[in-house]
Structure 1
Amino acid sequence: MRSSIIVPIYQSPTVLSLFLESLRLTVEPDTELIMVNDGSGPEVGELIEEFARTLKTERLGAITVETVHNVNPRGCGQALNQGLSRAEGDHVFFVDSDLILASGWQSGMLRTLHDHPESGMTAGVLLYPHTGGVQHCGITFSETLGRHLFLNSRPEDLPGAPYTVQLAVFALFAMTRQVRNDVGLLDERYFNGYEDFDYQMRARALGYRTVIDPRVTSYHWELRNGVHRAGNRKSNLARFWKTWGNHVDNDVIPRLVNALTNTPDLERFVPVDLAETRTDAAGVWEALAAASPLDRHAVLDYSTKVDGERPILLPHLLPPALLTEPKPLLILVENFVRLLDNHMWLAQRLQTQTGDIVIDLHGNRVGLEDLHAGCWPGCKVR
């Protein structure tokens, strides 16, 4: 049951120090730790070597540490492949160097792989250190776009049991040795982006699946993910969709429909559209109309008034009559936190109607009272 943990490191000393301390406190016995310094510089290299010496002394025999130092950054895919070529464990973990790992993460992921042997892969839930909200717990797809599932939701609002997703990021990820042997190494033509998605699609083609266990959580800063990440995003994304576009499923709309199936008298709701992605919004309303008495032709569309990623200020966008509309509202947005700067409007609306529902294109379903309670301390939008 030996575990191999591969840590690709292109990181600042401050963030890396926080990660290393959390790793020291949480890494479990019978572990092979492979740390690949991908051109982070001499100060980071010294931190890694000092950590390796300390861990070997503290956990003599229980944990082995191997360090690899690249003079210049080669990219995440190559760094992970350097680790994969050395890993000898029955289970292989990928762990980013900007995490704050929580106690039990390693045994929790091993438990998930044991309980779902047919899946072969699992990923942890990543939380924003700033808010405690969900940063990542799987990827959900529409026809042409992948989004982070349940983005910004509360961890307690996630499904209560392990669930399958199409893809997950490699920031906190584990797989069996059999998956590694069958799939092989990462495709290094992806440079600092989408190599993790491509790898899982190759595994999916062989019958494996990725399972998320909501009990496994850690904080993730999302810092220093490698050089030229932004510059290569378009080519990475184009390569992924060209290769796998016909193999991903539009699962976000079924999730939203299922989230509303137990809502009584859905036909009474006044549908309000504030989503910028028009094709996805149209798909949501069409699916809801097909699955319920909701009239898609009754949708009030104010989406053209929504400006980019700025907060959506409802008093500026919606007609005053909607504030006192006696029927409940069903509001569609890109992500529900875009509405958190509306404390006054929401407080006034609650005096008339408490049954309003907000849904978003990340699969979230939020009640008006919960939305109002979330106006403080703020939000973070990817």
Structure 2
Amino acid sequence: MSAVSVCIPVYGRQELTLRCLEALCRHSPARALEVVVVDNGSLDGTPQRVPQRGAELFGERFLYVRRERNDGFAIACNEAARHATTPMLFFLNNDAEVCEGWLEPLLKVFREERRIGAAGPVLTYPETGRVQHCGIAFDPFLHPVHLYEHFPPDHPVVRHRRRVQALTAAALMVPGQVFADVGGFDEGYVNGYEDMDLCLRLRGAGWRLVCVPESRAEHATSCTPGRFANEDANVRRFRERCGEALVPDAHRIYEADGFLPRFNDWLSLYVAMPGETRVALDAGVWTERKAVEQTLKRHPLWENGYLFWHDIAEREGCADTAFLARFLRAALFPGRESFIDFAQAAGNTGDVITQRIAMARLKQAEARQRDGEGLRARADAIADAAERSGDDVALRMCVQWFRGEGRGGAR
């Protein structure tokens, strides 16, 4: 008997689904899985190619379920779970590909730790190899934060197994009975926040959630057509249903791990490295690209390192590397200067779409920054809440923001 039922909701993008299935077969022990694909009414070649290839890879342990319309992620996942015949469910997006050795570390955590209600692998971006997801926390404004996004996956803070408030359902293992007991995915959401709602209900029922760094998968992220069409309604529903259960903890996690949580000019959370380390690195003479790259793997919050990396790569004619340096700096240190540099880098490579996205984010950030009164009111509200709750880290961040310390990204 198989140990795990892999539940894959799909809508179009047959090429992604085929790669997802092939990675599952290639990187999983023989006969360890049954696979249930629920098709939300795909209009491409999915109904023809996916059942055929699934049967070739998994034989009688593969099931294809066809729905006549796209009713969204939650409904498809719940249907897949109803068809599952194993004790464990593994929800997997069709734009994700598991890596070698992914399965056993997830199963092991359920065997060895008490009250684990869900576990997930570290997810990485296929384009950069950097971290996309190693658990979800919440910032002082209760916005969800993917911890250590864009860090190297082998960094010590990523390799640390940690309990978290939420995990993404792009790759999520849950015992079938536990999933049923809490009611499965809430079907009032449409392609967003279903996973965080599930995680908050699991925690409310006394279960723990853990990200398992020994398990890895690559995730292309948000490839389903119309993925964000209902974002505002999903956010409202999540806040109404789960708002009181959320705990602002991302900034406290970062400080406990030895970093400096900060607000930028428009009150977005970012993370800086300790000043003495930054000063020591900045004082170095950096002329070798490999030396800078290796240092950035150890110190991914060294902002000037990305500037050195970019300049060296540009001199050497490595356009892709120069672009990556600009991208990572903008992602890790959101500020007007880093956004402008990233947009310019996208334009230099001829990537007009990315350039437009970067400029749109810049304009949005500048609009927020112009609302000085609104920003001050938001910072005041967070400072008051932090003082009432004894959150010294958030209070210190607010004081630093009012003083203009470390704003505009990292300085």
Q: Would you say the 8 A contact 1:11–1:40 is kept in 2? A: yes
**1:225–1:272 CA distance, 2 compared to 1 (3 A):** closer
Distance 1:272 1:208, change over 3 A: closer
Listed as ranges, the matches of 1:333-372 within 5 Å are: 350=284, 366-367=301-302, 371=306
Change (3 A) 1:373 1:48: farther
Q: Does residue 1:95 correspond to 2:95, yes or no? A: no
The answer to whether 1:143 aligns with 2:159 is: no
Deviation digits for residues 80-99 of structure 1 (CA, Å, limit 9, x no counterpart): 01111222211111011111
Q: How far is the alpha carbon of 1:159 from its aligned partner?
A: 4.1
The question of whether the paired residues in 2 share the 8 Å contact of 1:113 and 1:175 is answered with no
Matched residue, 2:175? 176
Contact residue 6 and residue 33 of structure 1 kept, 8 A: yes
> What secondary structure is seen at the aligned counterpart in 2 of 1:187?
coil
Match of residue 74 from structure 2: 77
> CA shift at 1:172, angstroms?
0.8
**Residue 55 of structure 2 aligns with which residue?**
53
Q: Distance in 2 between matches of 1:51 and 1:75?
A: 24
> Does the CA contact (< 8 Å) of 2:134 and 2:158 recur in 1?
no
How far the C-alpha of 1:329 sits from its partner, in A, is: 8.4
Change (3 A) 1:272 1:140: closer
Rounded Cα–Cα distance in structure 2 between residues aligned with 1:224 and 1:27: 24
Higher mean C-alpha deviation, range 366-375 or range 24-33 = 366-375
Identity among equivalent positions (%) equals: 24
Superposition RMSD in Å: 3.2
Deviations 1:130-188 (A, max 9, x none): 11000111112112211111010001113434211110110111011331132122111
Shift of 1:110: 0.9
Aligned pairs, number: 301
Question: Which runs of no fewer than 5 residues in structure 1 stay unpaired?
Answer: 58-62, 262-270, 286-293, 295-326, 332-345, 353-363
Among candidates 84, 104, 107, match of residue 107 of structure 1: 104
Measured in 2, the distance between the counterparts of 1:105 and 1:272 equals 31
Amino acid at match of 1:278: L
| Contact 1:73/1:226 (<8 A) preserved | no
Residue pair 2:263, 2:269 contacting (<8 A) in 1 also: no
Confirm or deny: 8 A CA contact 1:11 1:97 kept in the other structure.
Answer: no
Per-residue deviation at 1:238? 1.1
Structure 1 residues 368 and 55: CA distance shift in structure 2, 3 A? closer
Are 1:129 and 2:126 matched, yes or no? Answer: yes
Q: Evaluate the alpha carbon distance shift between residue 113 and residue 139 of structure 1 in structure 2; reply closer, same or farther with a 3 A threshold.
A: same
Q: Tell me the residue number matched to 1:337.
A: none
> Structure 1-normalised TM-score?
0.70
Q: In structure 1, what is the Cα distance between the partners aligned to 2:309 and 2:216?
A: 21
Deviations 1:193-236 (A, max 9, x none): 00111111111100012101111111111142353x32210110
In 1, the alpha carbon distance for the partners of 2:150 and 2:301 equals: 11
Indicate yes or no: 2:18 matched with 1:17: yes
AA paired with 2:151?
A: S
Check whether the contact 2:12–2:44 (CA below 8 A) recurs between aligned residues: no
Go from structure 1 to structure 2 and tell me whether the alpha carbon gap of 1:71 and 1:42 turns closer, same or farther (over 3 Å shift).
farther
Which position in structure 2 is the counterpart of 1:336?
none
Deviations 1:285-320 (A, max 9, x none): 9xxxxxxxx9xxxxxxxxxxxxxxxxxxxxxxxxxx
C-alpha distance 141-106 of structure 1, shift in aligned 2 (>3 A)? same
1:240 paired with 2:248, answer: no
CA change 1:175–1:117 in 2 (3 A) is farther
**Offset at residue 347 of structure 1 (A):** 9.0
Quote how far apart the aligned CAs of 1:365 are.
Answer: 6.8
Residues 14-64 of structure 1 show CA distances to partners (whole Å, capped at 9, x for unaligned) of: 32232222122123324221111112225011121111220244xxxxx61
Matched residue, 1:187:
186
Question: Structure 1 or 2: larger strand share?
Answer: 1
Q: Tell me the equivalent position of 1:39.
A: 41
